[in-house]
Amino acid sequence: MEPIIETRDLSKSFGSFKAVDNLSFTIGHGDVYGFLGQNGAGKSTTMRMMLGLIYPDSGNIYINGTEFNNSRRHLLSQIGAIIERPDMYGYLSGYENLKIFAALSDKNIKADRLHEVLEIVGLRGREKDKVKAYSQGMKQRLGIAIALVHKPALLILDEPTNGLDPQGIAEMRMLIQSLSRDHGKTILISSHLLYEIEQIATSMIIIHKGRKVVEGKVNTLLNPDDSLVEVMINPVEEITLKLASSAWYENIHAFEPNMITFKMNPKQIPQLNRWLVSEGIDVLEIRSKHSLEAYFLSLTNDSVIKN
């Protein structure tokens, strides 16, 4: 099966600034695809090119195997998107806003569909309220209803949790999971909340200065065997010789004055702790850095970027 989205050598410059630099990636049907990068990495520029809002300088975008520029209008009907905060009419109700945006599509969307998407995003019972009375989370969910109303196969969500409180973030996470699991949507999502992406994404890409750093399945990229486990001990000197003759020596990643970092599976932490204590070493703290945040920072630190 063709990927739902494929970009090939996509590039875009603004004057002398190269925002996107020969960027290629693929999104499979059914993926929740995390699109990650620091501010200015080129995420929003890429998504705008995928929606035809700006044109690439070079490269191509394919949707279900069809080149985007060859069938732009038809292919855009297969995509729903929220780029930044959705603009809505605050003096109108949620339902009235949804009805206006539905009328802008080429499809003859019935009232039953409007009520259906309001149910999906959790706004049934509040659809008659004016949007100006909505919380930020409700406005974001109404934006997703607008993006869903014409039954797209692909959703592109740019920072959908931006400005939300913890409850709103949790509700958005559950909605995205439901859209993927229960409604078969493929979702491209960018976010600064790496913990949230780690919980919901099946695949991801990390870009830096417009270029791809890494792409793949989340459960492969975040291999627990490659976790960094930091052990604060006192003193380090006493354990050095003992480690050199132990089975743990091969797991050592780095030494610092009062800390040793091991590369290992976090499930081995209790065993390591018992060994250290048996050797008379005071263990002050053990913490695992197996997380998307740690992985992201290790790849977007300019000192470790090789290309």
Q: What is the pLDDT along the chain (307 residues), one digit of tens a residue?
A: 789 999 999 999 999 999 999 999 999 999 999 999 988 899 999 999 999 999 999 999 999 999 998 888 888 889 999 987 778 999 999 999 999 999 988 788 999 999 999 999 999 999 999 999 999 999 999 999 999 999 999 999 999 988 899 999 999 999 999 999 999 999 999 988 888 888 899 999 999 999 999 899 888 877 777 778 889 887 667 777 788 889 998 888 888 878 888 888 888 999 999 998 888 888 889 988 766 777 777 777 664 433 3
Residue 129 domain-assigned (yes or no):
yes
Residues 271 and 210 in one domain: no
What pLDDT, on the 0 to 100 scale, is given for residue 291?
A: 66
Residues 24 and 34: their CA atoms lie apart, in Å, by 15
What pLDDT, on the 0 to 100 scale, is given for residue 235?
A: 66
CATH code of the domain containing 239 = 3.30.70
Residues 159 and 235 in one domain: no
Residue 306 domain-assigned (yes or no):
no
18 contact partners, CB below 8 Å, separation of at least 6: 11, 12, 210
**pLDDT digits 0-9 by tens, 198-243:** 889 999 999 999 999 989 988 887 777 777 888 988 766 777 778 8
Residue among 164, 144, 145, 141 nearest 156 (CA):
144
CATH code of the domain containing 80 = 3.40.50.300
What pLDDT, on the 0 to 100 scale, is given for residue 290?
A: 62
Residues 29 and 173 in one domain: yes
Which H or E run includes 29?
none
Number of structural domains the chain divides into: 2
Residues 186 and 269 in one domain: no
Residues 228 and 146 in one domain: no
Residues 189 and 257 in one domain: no
Residues 146 and 82 in one domain: yes
Residues 204 and 243 in one domain: no
What pLDDT, on the 0 to 100 scale, is given for residue 305?
A: 39
Residue among 182, 120, 189 nearest 148 (CA):
120
Residues 209 and 229 in one domain: no
Domain that holds residue 251: 224-290
Residues 141 and 234 in one domain: no
The CA dihedral of 25, 64, 32, 55, to the nearest 10 degrees, is: 60
Three-class SS state of 120 = helix
Whole-Å CA distances, 224 to 149, 239, 271: 39, 25, 16
Residue 296 domain-assigned (yes or no):
no
Residue 307 domain-assigned (yes or no):
no
Supply the angle between the helices 111-120 and 166-181 in degrees, to the nearest 10. Answer: 120
Residues 201 and 248 in one domain: no
